[in-house]
Structure 1
Amino acid sequence: MTANAAERTDLQAQMHELGDAAVAAGRGLATASADAKETALRQAAAALRRNVESLKAANARDLETGRERGLTDAQLDRLELTDGRIEGMASGLETIAALPDPVGAELARWQVPTGLDIARVSTPIGVIGIIYESRPNVTADAAGLCIKAGNAAILRGGSESYHSAGAILECLHEGLAAAGLPERAVQRVPTTNREAVGVLLTMDSHVDLIVPRGGRGLVERVKTESRMPVLAHLEGVNHSYVQASCDPAMARSVIHNAKMRRPGICGATETILIDRDAIASHLPGILDDLAEAGCELRGDATIQAADSRVAAATEADWDTEYLAPIVSVKAVDSLDEAVAHVNAHGSGHTEAILSGDDAPARTFCERVDAAIVMVNASTQFADGGEFGMGAEIGIATDRTVPRGPIGATELTSYKYVVRGTGQTRA
């Protein structure tokens, strides 16, 4: 056996041992009480707060390596753990802990003419594999949601966040241990070897669902190679559409936030659509604010003619998730044209309309094909935490359910419980 073949065999053995442990731990977690899961999450949150300095030290190692690798400012921003982001992870776990237990909920119940009483009851999925890139907070968010839903988790974060994710995982293990739950209910792939992802995607005897959270390349690879069902989180080519009926001050405020609050997240607006009859009244203030914040402006011929700071947009711009302080701007003649552009170029993530008129806003919501549609609000609210879920494992952009922010409830399946009084079938 060659050295490379031996390494692959060792990796497969290591990954399968990980899977065996996840299956065993998942069985214990699936029947854990609501109180035990709540305790685990609250104690994990407390551990995060106790270990802020060690978390930041681990993160500093990742940031230093990231700079050496030439990560962009946007990538470094996604990677960084600040005091506020650590507190956000902790408070997110506490919010998840306080939610109703999604396991064992009676989703529906009815009787049939034979006298059978039929109930649909929520259950854990089993073992969930989560593959994500450089945002270390996903470690806490994904694990917390899986614990709440009674699922074991195998996490594979990006190599850029390896040390940060490891430090967060230690806090999660503290919480599980404090609640008397199996620590191996949450594990991570213990190597940065990219071949481990390929092995994980074949482990259908251990893993019940794969969730990729990252760029198009990652998602497409997972969809192609996975032997398990895939809950896809695709890119956010999001639009904010400004109608002339919208209050100009509101438009300025919402657009600035939607683009510039955190340009590197999937909920950021990447394209602004604006009614032609709103260009004179609304566009100057919007572009002034964006330019002052350092945003690069690209636009069609109409937008260029209205503002000399705007560079020419190419056809590729309308389909680009910049994840950076760059925005494309297009003039439209009507609501119909705006909807057509969104449905042709959007990624099914989040779309917004800014309007002072309820009728077109309702039409936009009905006709736009996206997991999330906003009315008079920033696209950056596209987040499970902002939806009251505590956190999210991603934004599912496929048309199948679940769709949109994936919280604990969305990480459950169901079974039918049928009660009879001795019935037999004719």
Structure 2
Amino acid sequence: MDAVQIVGELALNARKASRSLSTATGAERKAALEAIAQAIESRSAEILAANEIDMNNARAEEMHPQMQDRLLLTADRIKGIAGGARQVAALADPLGQTLRKSTLPNGLELEQISVPFGVIGMVYEARPNVTVDAAVILLMSGNAALLRGSSTARNSNEILVNVMRDALSQTKISPDVLQLIPSEDRATTKALLTARGKVDLVIPRGSAALIRMVVDEATVPTIETGAGVCHVYVDEFADIEKALPILINSKTHRPSVCNAAETLLVHKAIAPTFLPMALKALSDAGVILHSDATAQKVADTFKIASTIATEENWSTEYGVLEMNVAVVDSVDAAADHIAQYGTNHTEAIVTENKDNAARFIALSDCAAVMVNTSTRFTDGEQMGFGAEIGISNQKLHARGPMGLEAMTTTTWIVTGDGQIRS
């Protein structure tokens, strides 16, 4: 059986099984998520053993340490994954919500309600936690899931899907609403992306290269999740005692994720005071620095390792402990830099001046703007959505961290009493 046939069969099975979701009550879907959380916790030893196989392969292939960190599961991370499922289960049911309601002059009653998309495909890289995050969000929002993870996480993904399917078999929801697409053959990815009519939506989650490939090759509708070239702008009216921890957290808390900051912008008025401290703190944290001419002079003066930034540096999503630094003349200059090199994901300003904050917000065409806080808070769980399906930096349908509501569409219900159109 070739890749197109494999994906087509899995999609058909998911479509049939999705009826058990569309007819399930909110309480039944919540119970299914709780069953999944319990199963993940009780079978953590199996999950860890499977993940260790993937980790051994990753080490043998000399995978980058930051990518290994994404792949790694620990007992605490498994507890966190189960906890995320419970957080989603505790959220309000997104289905059957009345968005608009009215009565026309002819007596027809109109109601627009939230409904599932149907069958949603996920294409993602070596992050096994996404397997569960995506599954529970899609299940709670009434959607069947086709999960196409990375071959580097094959063993981890297989056990996690098996655990979740086993848990669902004890509920009123069919286990076939979760389907794992084989990852050994890259052709299955293209088959998923072109399964128009069988799959309702595809969402990529991973590197900029993966997202671009999905958007360019898919004939199935897609939601473009975010490559993250994020910036921290330290304004002339910044409180330095706030600015330094915000900067360090934004860059170093978990540099491999899309909401980590890649460029520091500093207003010229505060640069003589702030830059020496910032460059030293970043360097001490192991961050490789690339600076514009002004920042490079400061680095040289204080004997802090840095190189002159190239045009390519400014638009690079590093995903590691590496960062660009530039000095700018104003809020508008910072916004101009971001507009040229950013990816419309997350931008942060540190300032005590409300007018400057408001102008920065108005000039920032992005999914999330952080004022006096870390870029790392652009996250579904941190923003109270439970787990997230991804962070969208496009403008159609969904933008920012995508939780349950973003995984629904709408249906119009028109109720009459015998009316006919003249």
Select the residue among 135, 151, 154 that pairs with 1:162: 154
Select the residue among 6, 13, 16 that pairs with 1:14: 6
Select the residue among 272, 277, 282 that pairs with 2:269: 277
User: What per-residue deviation string (whole Å, max 9, x for no partner) do you get for residues 376-401 of structure 1?
Assistant: 11111111111111111111111222
* Counterpart residue type for residue 203 of structure 1: A
Say if 2:150 and 2:183, in contact at 8 Å, map to a contact too: no
Select the residue among 1, 18, 22 that pairs with 1:26: 18
The residue aligned with 2:337 is: 341
Cα shift at 1:110: 2.2
- Please say which of residues 173-182 and 33-42 is displaced more in the overlay: 173-182
The residue aligned with 2:233 is: 241
Select the residue among 169, 174, 180 that pairs with 1:188: 180
Say if 1:244 and 1:282, in contact at 8 Å, map to a contact too: no
The residue aligned with 1:4 is: none
Q: Distance in 2 between matches of 1:75 and 1:139?
A: 16
Q: Distance in 2 between matches of 1:294 and 1:85?
A: 25
Alignment of 1:95-106 (within 5 A): 95-106=87-98
Q: Distance in 2 between matches of 1:31 and 1:225?
A: 34
Q: Distance in 2 between matches of 1:237 and 1:77?
A: 20
3-state secondary structure, aligned to 1:71: coil
The residue aligned with 1:6 is: none
Q: Distance in 2 between matches of 1:103 and 1:199?
A: 30
The residue aligned with 2:324 is: 328
Cα shift at 1:28: 1.7
The residue aligned with 1:127 is: 119
The residue aligned with 1:55 is: 47
* Counterpart residue type for residue 192 of structure 1: E
Select the residue among 331, 346, 350 that pairs with 1:350: 346
Say if 1:43 and 1:174, in contact at 8 Å, map to a contact too: no
The residue aligned with 2:396 is: 400
3-state secondary structure, aligned to 1:402: coil
Q: Distance in 1 between matches of 2:160 and 2:277?
A: 42
Gaps of 5+ in 1: 1-8
The residue aligned with 1:318 is: 314
The residue aligned with 2:216 is: 224
- Please say which of residues 83-92 and 334-343 is displaced more in the overlay: 83-92
Q: Distance in 2 between matches of 1:175 and 1:354?
A: 46
User: What per-residue deviation string (whole Å, max 9, x for no partner) do you get for residues 9-53 of structure 1?
Assistant: 433332222111011011221121111110111111111111222
State the number of aligned residues.
Answer: 418
Q: Distance in 1 between matches of 2:160 and 2:215?
A: 28
Determine whether 1:87 maps to 2:73: no
Identity of aligned residues (%): 38
3-state secondary structure, aligned to 2:232: strand
Determine whether 1:114 maps to 2:106: yes
Gaps of 5+ in 2: none
Say if 1:40 and 1:177, in contact at 8 Å, map to a contact too: no
* Counterpart residue type for residue 176 of structure 2: R
TM-score normalised by structure 1 residue count? 0.95
Say if 1:26 and 1:126, in contact at 8 Å, map to a contact too: yes
User: What per-residue deviation string (whole Å, max 9, x for no partner) do you get for residues 102-146 of structure 1?
Assistant: 011111212333332211100000000000001110000000100
Determine whether 1:41 maps to 2:54: no
* Counterpart residue type for residue 112 of structure 1: L
User: What per-residue deviation string (whole Å, max 9, x for no partner) do you get for residues 264-310 of structure 1?
Assistant: 01110000111011112222222222111111111101001112222
Q: Distance in 2 between matches of 1:341 and 1:31?
A: 50
* Counterpart residue type for residue 112 of structure 2: R
TM-score normalised by structure 2 residue count? 0.96
Select the residue among 402, 408, 413 that pairs with 1:412: 408
The residue aligned with 2:143 is: 151
Cα shift at 1:425: 2.8
- Please say which of residues 209-218 and 150-159 is displaced more in the overlay: 209-218
Change (3 A) 1:364 1:111: farther
Determine whether 1:264 maps to 2:244: no
Q: Distance in 2 between matches of 1:144 and 1:130?
A: 13
Select the residue among 55, 60, 65 that pairs with 2:57: 65
Determine whether 1:391 maps to 2:383: no
Say if 1:37 and 1:179, in contact at 8 Å, map to a contact too: no
Q: Distance in 2 between matches of 1:323 and 1:294?
A: 14
3-state secondary structure, aligned to 2:138: helix
Over the residues paired in the alignment, what is the CA RMSD in angstroms? 1.3
3-state secondary structure, aligned to 2:362: helix
- Please say which of residues 401-410 and 328-337 is displaced more in the overlay: 401-410
Cα shift at 1:234: 3.1
- Please say which of residues 414-423 and 138-147 is displaced more in the overlay: 414-423
Say if 1:236 and 1:268, in contact at 8 Å, map to a contact too: yes
Say if 1:335 and 1:364, in contact at 8 Å, map to a contact too: yes
3-state secondary structure, aligned to 1:286: helix
* Counterpart residue type for residue 255 of structure 1: L
The residue aligned with 2:243 is: 251
3-state secondary structure, aligned to 2:270: helix
Change (3 A) 1:175 1:409: farther
* Counterpart residue type for residue 256 of structure 1: I
3-state secondary structure, aligned to 2:48: helix
Cα shift at 1:180: 2.2
Provide runs of 4+ in structure 1 moved above 4 Å: none
Cα shift at 1:205: 2.6
Q: Distance in 2 between matches of 1:320 and 1:142?
A: 27
Q: Distance in 1 between matches of 2:351 and 2:144?
A: 44
